[in-house]
Amino acid sequence: MKEYTRKEYTRAQLALRNGQDKAEIWVAYRGVIYDVSASRLWRNGKHYEHWAGQDLTEELDHDAPHTAGVFEKFPVVGKLKQS
C-alpha cells in the first residue's frame, strides 16, 4: 500500500498565508497546516488573540477554550517542515 505524503511548507511559506499577503488563511497545529479561509471566525487572519500564518500549537495547547477537534472541519493543506 502506497503511503500518502503531504506537501511540506516552511514557516516562511506559512507566514504568507496570514490573511493579509495572500487570499489563503492558514494555521499550523501539531505539524499539520489547515486552511481556515472559509471560517468567518478567521476573517482578516485574526481569531481573537491568535494570528494566522503561524504555528499555533503552543498557544492552543495552553490557552484555547476548545479541543484540537476544532480543526477536523478544515481542509488539510500539508505539513509544517521542521527546521
The CATH number of whichever domain residue 67 belongs to comes to 3.10.120.10
Per-residue pLDDT of 34-82, as tens digits, reads: 999 999 999 889 888 889 999 999 887 776 666 667 888 999 999 999 8
The whole-angstrom separation of Cα 62 and Cα 74 is: 21
Task: Tell me, yes or no, whether 75 lies in a domain.
Answer: yes
The whole-angstrom separation of Cα 44 and Cα 4 is: 32
Q: Do strands 8-9 and 32-35 pair parallel, antiparallel, or not at all (unpaired)? A: unpaired
User: Any idea what the Cα angle at residue 29 is, between residues 27 and 30, rounded to 5°?
Assistant: 150
Question: pLDDT value at position 82?
Answer: 86
Which strand (E) or helix (H) includes residue 14?
helix 11-15
Question: pLDDT value at position 17?
Answer: 96
pTM value is: 0.85
Total structural domains within the chain:
1
Task: Tell me, yes or no, whether 51 lies in a domain.
Answer: yes
Per-residue pLDDT of 25-37, as tens digits, reads: 999 999 999 999 9
Q: Provide the residue range defining the domain that includes 70.
A: 8-80
User: Is residue 41 a contact partner of residue 34, using CB atoms and an 8 Å limit?
Assistant: no
